[in-house]
């Protein structure tokens, strides 16, 4: 923001501030006071005591140090670097020069190089302020040409070294009316390029894989196996060594008809045509000529209604392409199942496109100017925001001090844009960023976050370029709007967290916890002593820049003003009751840096009061002086105090030590849990197999596959004990590799050789 000027030239300017020449104090002081009060209340100037401020070129006193912006180092002008990744593509000129200089820091002639670098920067800044634009290289060359007019070899060498360490080239833009559109536009383009790359890569991958499927099928088909195509695929070097006709005959006989199902082939071809002809991103392969791009839709619009129309028109196409992507993924993985998937895809997108699919498609950009906005546009804008469409809207306001639409004497500061911003925030899932153009550089990472969100985003920027401010530069107007809380910076980022504390951010306002920011104003008084006053920047200072409100201000001489004049912020803290005894005034400087005191009328005070009320409610939203939090804290504090009091009383009342807690109950002996699954009581008569231990070795199955069988785990069990002899059981038990077969008792007592078999069966009981 407005940092205190450090350039040595301006310190001198501060010291020479003098009190301006006073009006002749001919009239008695009471009449003068009457005149002041009546001016305050009615804006009329009876008598000649109150001078108008026309023609003096007054500007707020705090601007005194910033007469010549080209001699100062601040955020502007900006350089939009080509070919740099996201956030670092936006740099300030001073930042770039500092970076370049830091590389050469250790050089022996560092001081001299530093002075050269500052001179270059100043020269470039002056060029830009004079209206020149273009790339950094062009401006550098022009500036170098001017500086080198004094033909200094050392300078030339130093400049050359600086140029090599100054990395990157880009467009240089200053803080003017076109800044918001250019800065945000270039940010949008950077983000879109990345998105386009990802989309293109994915689509190309899908196209390549689908084409491969078709190609493989063609190779296996009858034409693929014909002698000509075989010969063509072999190449000419060893073509003579092969008999292609015979090869073709062999292949056609040997290969089974594994050609693609006709329905599947048609589906793949359809998918390929949809994917190839999509117009959402220019579709080119990295390998081929990047300048040949297929016709793509444009996504930049000048009006919300047109953007909404375009979205509606393109929605069927979007659905087609999204559907094609999903179907292609399934086809490539051979997972497409017609019976199950066809009905689903037939209705795909009937209820609108799921945001998960829409996120891959490009965002729409709409650049609006509040001045030209019709009511129909405003409602279309709100429609877009509440529908959650992926549209990013830049709403630029050049002039925020508008006459109230009703026509009474009140005027509304930034009314139109504030209405839209508050509606957008209330929706809850829209990314909202409100700021003046002066603060845009500091907010650059937030801007990129806004472009990266998948839903709608609203950027409301005050450019300050309305031209009502006389000679005051646009940057200062914008900065004044920020400082005076006329257009505070707020960021509402739904993706930052689930609650207001994480989403809503007022951090980028100067001294956000105060009503008005405080600044030190040093000046020289009548006795030529240096005095420093703490001055609050209020809405009135901002309005005082605007020539349209000159009639609400009246110049007052120092003699007349003493004792009754207070600052606007003090006045606001007192309620207005009846005839005021303290009148509000602001400090302004004229063209010679002479300090003037200027009386402010009631209309501006009322506007300032409303402004501070709005600011306070914003503060509460941002968690500063939040009334809910304060009440909760007070309640908690009270209950804690009560508790503390109670415990001290209790401690005082019972001097005896607290009795020992009753003896702990004896630890109950917990019996160890019984081993799970007690041994199954197997009848020892029935033959059985310990199936879980079976190794599937086929021994028993081979002996009798009616008696023994495999279960679902391919482990053996006794399928049918009666389907074989006891001899077979014993043999199986003996040949079982892991000895898990238990033959049990024989079923048939008349079987031959039972005695010997029983003996053999004994180890397996």
Cβ proximity to another protein: between 86 and 329 the closer is 329
Least distance to another protein, CB of residue 237, Å: 15
Neighbour-count burial for 147-175, b at 16+ CB within 10 Å, e otherwise: beeeeeeebeebbebbeeebebebbbbbb
Least distance to another protein, CB of residue 219, Å: 13
Cβ proximity to another protein: between 204 and 369 the closer is 204
Residues 661, 664, 669: CA angle, nearest 5 degrees:
170
Q: Of 358, 356, 331, 326, give the one whose Cα is nearest residue 344.
A: 326
Among residues 240, 575, 676, 683, the one that binds another protein under rule CB under 8 A:
676
Cβ proximity to another protein: between 85 and 286 the closer is 286
Q: How far apart are CA 682 and CA 744, in angstroms?
A: 10
Residues 170, 173, 174: CA angle, nearest 5 degrees:
150
Who's near 662: CB < 8 A, 6+ residues apart? none
Cβ-based neighbour number of residue 374 at 10 Å: 10
Q: How far apart are CA 493 and CA 450, in angstroms?
A: 8
Question: What is the four-CA torsion angle of 593, 597, 603, 605, rounded to 10 degrees?
Answer: 100
Among residues 28, 375, 692, 755, the one that binds another protein under rule CB under 8 A:
692
Q: What are phi and psi of 173, to 5 degrees?
A: -125, 145
Pairing of the two strands 457-462 and 431-436: parallel
Judged by CB under 8 A, which stretch of 92-100, 421-429, 597-605, 736-744 contacts another protein? 736-744
Judged by CB under 8 A, which stretch of 117-125, 391-399, 565-573, 707-715 contacts another protein? 707-715
At 551, list the tokens. Answer: 């009639």
Cβ proximity to another protein: between 656 and 676 the closer is 676
Among residues 83, 256, 257, 334, the one that binds another protein under rule CB under 8 A:
334
Cβ proximity to another protein: between 346 and 406 the closer is 346
Is residue 528 a contact residue for another protein (CB under 8 A)?
no
Is residue 667 a contact residue for another protein (CB under 8 A)?
no
Among residues 48, 695, 752, 756, the one that binds another protein under rule CB under 8 A:
695
Is residue 702 a contact residue for another protein (CB under 8 A)?
yes
Cβ proximity to another protein: between 209 and 442 the closer is 209
Is residue 739 a contact residue for another protein (CB under 8 A)?
yes
| Region class of 724: left (phi > 0), else alpha (psi between -120 and 50), else beta | beta
Cβ proximity to another protein: between 632 and 697 the closer is 697
**Residue 551 DSSP symbol:** G
At 401, list the tokens. Answer: 């001090």
Cis, peptide link before residue 77, omega less than 30° from 0: yes
Among residues 255, 735, 745, 758, the one that binds another protein under rule CB under 8 A:
735
At 152, list the tokens. Answer: 């200094």
Least distance to another protein, CB of residue 338, Å: 9
Is residue 346 a contact residue for another protein (CB under 8 A)?
no
**Residue 354 DSSP symbol:** -
Is residue 357 a contact residue for another protein (CB under 8 A)?
yes
Query: If you write DSSP's letter for every residue of 256-275 in order, what string do you get?
Result: ---PPPHHHHHHHHHHHHHH
Q: How many residues bind another protein (CB under 8 A)?
A: 44
Q: Of 186, 54, 190, 79, give the one whose Cα is nearest residue 136.
A: 79
SS3 665: coil
Cβ proximity to another protein: between 21 and 696 the closer is 696
x/- site string to another protein, residues 263 to 292, per CB under 8 A? ----------------------xxxx----
Cβ proximity to another protein: between 58 and 740 the closer is 740
Judged by CB under 8 A, which stretch of 61-69, 163-171, 330-338, 614-622 contacts another protein? 330-338
Is residue 713 a contact residue for another protein (CB under 8 A)?
yes
Cβ proximity to another protein: between 219 and 426 the closer is 219
Q: How far apart are CA 342 and CA 325, in angstroms?
A: 15
The tally of CA atoms less than 13 A away on the side-chain side of residue 416 is 25
Q: What are phi and psi of 458, to 5 degrees?
A: -125, 125
Q: How far apart are CA 430 and CA 485, in angstroms?
A: 23
Cβ proximity to another protein: between 71 and 341 the closer is 341
Judged by CB under 8 A, which stretch of 299-307, 455-463, 489-497, 696-704 contacts another protein? 696-704
Counting beta carbons within 10 angstroms of the beta carbon of residue 417, is it exposed (0 to 12), middle (13 to 18) or buried (19 or more)?
buried
x/- site string to another protein, residues 11 to 50, per CB under 8 A? ----------------------------------------
Cβ proximity to another protein: between 344 and 426 the closer is 344
Judged by CB under 8 A, which stretch of 80-88, 128-136, 518-526, 692-700 contacts another protein? 692-700
SS3 463: coil
Binding to another protein (CB under 8 A): which residues in 200-229?
A: 201-202, 204-205, 208
Cβ proximity to another protein: between 294 and 559 the closer is 294
Is residue 141 a contact residue for another protein (CB under 8 A)?
no
Is residue 256 a contact residue for another protein (CB under 8 A)?
no
Packing angle, helices 726-735 and 754-761, rounded to 10: 30
Among residues 13, 41, 251, 326, the one that binds another protein under rule CB under 8 A:
326
What are the residues binding another protein (CB under 8 A)? 201-202, 204-205, 208, 285-288, 325-326, 329-330, 334-335, 337, 339-341, 344, 354, 356-357, 360, 675-677, 692-699, 702, 712-715, 735, 737-739
């Amino acid at each position: 923001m407005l940092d205190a000027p450090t350039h040595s030239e301006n310190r001198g300017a501060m010291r020479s501030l003098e009190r301006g020449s006073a009006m002749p104090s001919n009239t008695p002081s009471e009449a003068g006071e009457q005149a002041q009060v009546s001016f305050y209340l009615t804006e009329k100037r009876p008598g000649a005591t109150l001078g108008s401020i026309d023609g003096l070129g007054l500007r707020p006193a705090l601007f005194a140090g910033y007469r010549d912006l080209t001699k100062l180092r601040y955020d502007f002008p900006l350089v939009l670097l080509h070919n740099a990744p996201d956030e670092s593509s936006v740099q300030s000129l001073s930042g770039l020069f500092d970076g370049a200089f830091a590389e050469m820091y250790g050089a022996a002639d560092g001081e001299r190089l530093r002075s050269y670098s500052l001179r270059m920067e100043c020269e470039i800044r002056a060029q830009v302020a004079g209206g020149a634009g273009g790339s950094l290289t062009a401006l550098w060359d022009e500036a170098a040409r001017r500086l080198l007019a004094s033909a200094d070899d050392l300078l030339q060498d130093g400049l050359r070294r600086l140029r090599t360490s100054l990395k990157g080239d880009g467009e240089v833009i200053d803080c003017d009316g076109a800044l918001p559109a250019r800065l945000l536009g270039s940010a949008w383009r950077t983000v879109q390029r990345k998105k386009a790359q990802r989309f293109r890569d994915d689509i190309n991958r899908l196209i390549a894989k689908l084409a491969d499927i078709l190609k493989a099928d063609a190779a296996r088909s009858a034409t693929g196996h014909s002698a000509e195509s075989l010969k063509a695929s072999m190449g000419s070097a060893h073509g003579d060594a092969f008999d292609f006709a015979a090869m073709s005959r062999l292949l056609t006989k040997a290969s089974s008809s594994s050609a693609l199902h006709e329905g599947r082939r048609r589906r793949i071809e359809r998918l390929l045509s949809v994917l190839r002809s999509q117009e959402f991103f220019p579709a080119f392969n990295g390998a081929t000529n990047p300048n040949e791009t297929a016709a793509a839709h444009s996504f930049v619009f000048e009006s919300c209604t047109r953007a909404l129309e375009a979205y509606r028109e393109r929605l069927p196409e979007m659905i087609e392409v999204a559907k094609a992507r999903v179907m292609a993924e399934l086809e490539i993985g051979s997972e497409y199942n017609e019976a199950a998937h066809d009905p689903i895809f037939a209705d795909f997108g009937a209820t609108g496109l799921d945001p998960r699919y829409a996120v891959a498609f490009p965002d729409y950009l709409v650049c609006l100017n509040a001045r030209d906005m019709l009511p129909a546009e405003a409602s279309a804008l709100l429609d877009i925001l509440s529908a959650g469409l992926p549209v990013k809207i830049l709403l630029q306001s050049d002039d925020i001090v508008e006459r109230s639409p009703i026509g009474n004497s009140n005027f509304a500061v930034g009314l139109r844009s504030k209405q839209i911003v508050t509606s957008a925030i209330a929706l809850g899932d829209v990314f909202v960023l409100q700021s003046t153009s002066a603060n845009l550089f500091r907010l650059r990472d937030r801007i990129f976050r806004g472009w990266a969100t998948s839903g709608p985003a609203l950027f409301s920027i005050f450019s300050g370029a309305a031209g009502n401010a006389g000679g005051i530069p646009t940057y200062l107007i914008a900065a004044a709007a920020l400082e005076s809380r006329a257009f505070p910076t707020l960021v509402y980022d739904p993706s930052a967290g689930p609650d207001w504390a994480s989403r809503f951010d007022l951090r980028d306002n100067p001294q956000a916890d105060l009503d008005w920011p405080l600044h030190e104003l040093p000046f020289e008084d009548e006795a030529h002593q240096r005095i420093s006053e703490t001055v609050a920047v209020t809405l009135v200072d901002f309005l005082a820049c605007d020539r349209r409100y000159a009639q609400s201000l009246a110049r007052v001489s120092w003699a007349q003003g003493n004792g009754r004049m207070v600052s606007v912020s003090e006045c606001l803290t007192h309620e207005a009751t009846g005839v005021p005894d303290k009148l509000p005034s602001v400090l302004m400087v004229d063209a010679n840096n002479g300090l003037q005191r200027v009386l402010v009328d009631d209309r501006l005070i009322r506007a300032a009061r409303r402004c501070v009320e709005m600011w306070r409610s914003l503060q509460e939203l941002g968690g500063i002086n939040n009334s809910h939090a304060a009440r909760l804290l007070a309640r908690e504090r009270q209950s804690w105090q009560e508790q503390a009091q109670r415990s001290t009383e209790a401690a005082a009342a019972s001097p005896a030590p607290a009795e020992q807690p009753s003896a702990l109950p004896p630890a109950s002996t917990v019996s160890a849990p019984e081993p799970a699954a007690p041994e199954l009581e197997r009848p020892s008569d029935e033959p059985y197999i310990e199936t879980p231990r079976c190794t599937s070795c086929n021994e028993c199955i081979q002996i009798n596959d009616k008696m023994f069988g495999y279960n679902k785990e391919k482990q053996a069990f006794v399928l049918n004990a009666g389907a074989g002899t006891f001899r077979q059981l014993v043999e199986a038990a003996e040949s079982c590799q892991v000895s898990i077969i238990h033959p049990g008792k024989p079923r048939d007592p008349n079987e031959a050789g039972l005695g010997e078999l029983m003996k053999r069966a004994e180890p397996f009981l």
